[in-house]
Amino acid sequence: MPRPSHPQTPTRMLHRLLLAGAAATTLALGASAWAAEPIKIGVIGEESSVAGASLTKAAQMAADEINAKGGVDGRKLEIITYDDHSSAADAVRAFQRAVNQDKVSAVVATYISEVALAIEPWSARLHMPLITAGAASTDIPKHVHDDYAHYKYTFMGWLNSAFIAQSICDAEQDMLVGPFHMKTAVVMSEDAAWTTPLDEAYLKCLPKAGLKVLDHIRFNPDTTDFTPIFNKIEGEHPDVIITGISHVGVQPTVQWHDQQVPIPMAGQSSQATTSSFWKDTNGAAEGVITASAAAPGVATTPKTVPFTNDYIKRFGDTPAYDGYTAYDMIYVLAEAIKRAGSTDPDRMVEALEKTDYVGTIGRIKFYGKDELYTHGLEYGRGLVTGVDIQWQSGKQVAVWPKELAQGKVIFPTFVKLPQQAAK
């Protein structure tokens, strides 16, 4: 027999409507609470380092701008900063704390390759998206390429060492080989993880650029007296010294100037990318050329100059190269989270792999799963190449590439150029 139905009395109907309304309200409150919950991004930097100090500042600046425009789908970005004191062990502890205690959704970290390489396995184990902001070792993308399933959470926010070397070789050919008829070089690099592939690339691309490599010197980053090194180099009579220095910078620059070493210094000097370098060296930086991500007053993209000016206004100095990259990577993460519609790590990785974003350093894209430098920053004209700057009268002047140059290369009077040396 069919079950008799109960009449829908006004009281019963009201009760059901109230229950339905309460459930809908609960769901709405839950959804709005989730939407209001901030997205936490961990930023691990080197606060006491000349080159690393602007990393965390620029990241916070990007988050503030994003939040001022409504955040990411209504959710605020919350930057949680950590100082690793340039220590791999401290960086690993900071990364673990960021993930396990502070519940971040992603991490932007470090300009030091040894630190990045120490964090990278933890990114794999904890399934935490990690973007390095300045570390350059080619081993970082190699791990992703060789074991994608585990290491896919790591991305590089700056060019790897092989591309830095290629960019420098391209620059030296245009700036030194052509105009100044330079033909020989000595490579002088600190002994560090990032310079091993850098020097390997130097030794291949410098001769192709027209500079025969007379010697290849690697020194301990703890070196304080560069006199024996400079004496050795002077004895070989190269036209230029091509550097690969980041952990050091002030000491060799001051001694190069004070000893009136008659050979120009170019290449990569990461500390020379900061505006404080002139003061730190008491003006000994005059004439030093270094590769960098961007430069003051140089419109690499429409975003470069506004960011640089805002950074100077807020912090009183210009950003180092990793300041530009950290700023861009916060925007890259925000866009990836928005595209993914989630902070789920795997969905974020998929979204990051589709990145095509114009930042302060150029058009940012990452190499794919099957490419050699998986998740490394793509290099090339129309993408990211960096710029070369020279210290001239207390200012950083862009001297390469030609289309972005603010002036021509000028060397101190104690530097002897090939034409002068021949006289």
Chain segment 251-273, per-residue pLDDT in tens: 899 999 999 999 999 999 988 88
Query: In the chain, what percentage of residues exceed pLDDT 70?
Result: 90
Average pLDDT over residues 134-143: 94
Chain segment 205-238, per-residue pLDDT in tens: 999 999 999 999 999 888 989 999 999 999 999 9
Identify the CA nearest to 387 among candidates 49, 199, 159, 110: 159
Identify the CA nearest to 273 among candidates 313, 332, 210, 325: 325
| CATH superfamily, domain at 162-294+386-422 | Response regulator (3.40.50.2300)
Peptide bond just before 401 cis, omega within 30 deg: yes
Average pLDDT over residues 279-298: 91
CA distance 154 to 144: 7
Name residue, tokens 């001769």.
207
pLDDT in the model for residue 19: 52
**Is the per-residue pLDDT at 56 higher than 60?**
yes
Q: Which CATH architecture has domain 38-159+302-364?
A: 3-Layer(aba) Sandwich (3.40)
pLDDT in the model for residue 3: 46
**Is the per-residue pLDDT at 20 higher than 70?**
no
pTM recorded for the entire structure: 0.84
pLDDT in the model for residue 15: 54
Q: How confident is the model at residue 11 (pLDDT cuts 50, 70, 90)?
A: low
Chain segment 388-400, per-residue pLDDT in tens: 999 999 999 999 9
pLDDT in the model for residue 2: 46
pLDDT in the model for residue 16: 56
Q: Do domains 38-159+302-364 and 162-294+386-422 have the same CATH topology?
A: yes
The residues spanned by each domain of the chain are 38-159+302-364, 162-294+386-422
**Is the per-residue pLDDT at 48 higher than 70?**
yes
**Is the per-residue pLDDT at 39 higher than 60?**
yes
**Is the per-residue pLDDT at 27 higher than 50?**
no
Query: In the chain, what percentage of residues exceed pLDDT 90?
Result: 77
**Is the per-residue pLDDT at 6 higher than 60?**
no
Average model confidence (pLDDT) across the chain? 89
For residue 103, the one-letter residue type is K
Chain segment 144-173, per-residue pLDDT in tens: 999 999 999 999 999 999 999 999 999 999
Chain segment 78-97, per-residue pLDDT in tens: 999 999 999 999 999 999 99
Average pLDDT over residues 272-293: 90
What are the Cα distances from residue 334, in Å, to 54, 69, 110, 249? 20, 12, 19, 34
Decide which of 353 and 29 is more confident. Answer: 353
Q: How confident is the model at residue 36 (pLDDT cuts 50, 70, 90)?
A: confident
